[in-house]
Amino acid sequence: MIRKSIAMLSLFALGACGESQLAARALNVFLDEPSTQASGPFPRFAPLLQMPQPYALQATLVRSSLKGGFLLESKQGSIESWLGSDGVALTFDRGLLHGTRGIGAGLLASDVSESAALVLSGRNGVADRIHTRLDGNDRAELQAYRCTIRSEGPATIQLDNGPASTLKMVETCAGLDDSFQNTYWVDTRSDLIVRSRQWTGEELGELDVRVVYNFR
């Protein structure tokens, strides 16, 4: 079933630049280097620095070790949009990766609501999720997955502001053509996913996301 999050695809239409240009922009922001396409930060990013932000996100592409910082730009219901300094954007549904913008073909949108409910409640169970990507002809393609979610118990992890007591949750998903595993560390005090390792797709691989409190 294609749910409301999939219907929001039209709100996230890709720009006219080609895939190679999008990839170059992604490399710039993950390397914290200025864009070759425009001087200074992405226009929408600078105002975010002046807004109250309880925390930022640091995202690292595990395969290449490229990393960058992201600030919260908007929130609609449970969907949060986080923006990097050069326009690369990550969207999350309660901490689970919902979509990417400006990183190659990327993930247009996803329905991860069933997985999010289990992960944040610390419950074992089975969830269905749907991903929407662009195929080689720039057409939206749906991919369905059946996921098993299990708790691996308490785990203390180190954040920039000190140790955090978390519950480690592991999600193992399988579809018709591929499979992947995501890991989430949920803060037991705030129920916030403070660290995760999430699959973005074959092109970029795994994304390690951490909450950063002392970022100014």
Run of H or E residues at 118: helix 113-121
- Which residue in 73, 66, 199, 70 sits closest to 133, CA to CA? 199
pTM for the model? 0.79
**Span 63-74, pLDDT tens digits:** 988 888 999 999
Residue 109 near residue 124, CB atoms below 8 Å: no
Give the list of residues 6+ apart from residue 160 with CB closer than 8 angstroms, or none. 212, 213, 214, 215
Diameter over CA atoms, the chain: 48
* pLDDT score recorded for residue 24: 41
Q: Is the pLDDT of residue 15 over 70?
A: no
Domain membership of residue 162 as a residue range: 4-212
In this prediction, residues 77-93 reach a mean pLDDT of: 91
**Span 21-70, pLDDT tens digits:** 433 443 343 333 334 444 455 778 778 888 889 999 999 989 988 888 99
Q: Which amino acid is at 122?
A: G
151, with CB counted inside 10 A (0-12, 13-18, 19+), is middle
Q: Look up tokens 């620095």; give the residue.
A: 49
Q: Hey, how many other C-beta atoms are within 10 angstroms of the C-beta on 44?
A: 12
Q: Record the tokens describing residue 70, joined without a space.
A: 């992201």
* pLDDT score recorded for residue 41: 59
Question: How many whole angstroms from its chain centre is CA 101?
Answer: 10
CA gap 214, 216 in Å, rounded: 6
Label residue 85 by pLDDT band (50, 70, 90): confident
**Span 166-215, pLDDT tens digits:** 999 999 999 998 999 999 999 999 999 999 999 998 888 999 999 999 98
State how many domains the chain has.
1
45/7: higher pLDDT: 45
Label residue 136 by pLDDT band (50, 70, 90): low
- Residue 182's CATH number: 2.40.360.10
Query: pLDDT exceeding 90 applies to what percent of the chain?
Result: 56
Label residue 147 by pLDDT band (50, 70, 90): very high
Helices (H), 93-201: 113-121
Q: Is the pLDDT of residue 114 over 90?
A: yes
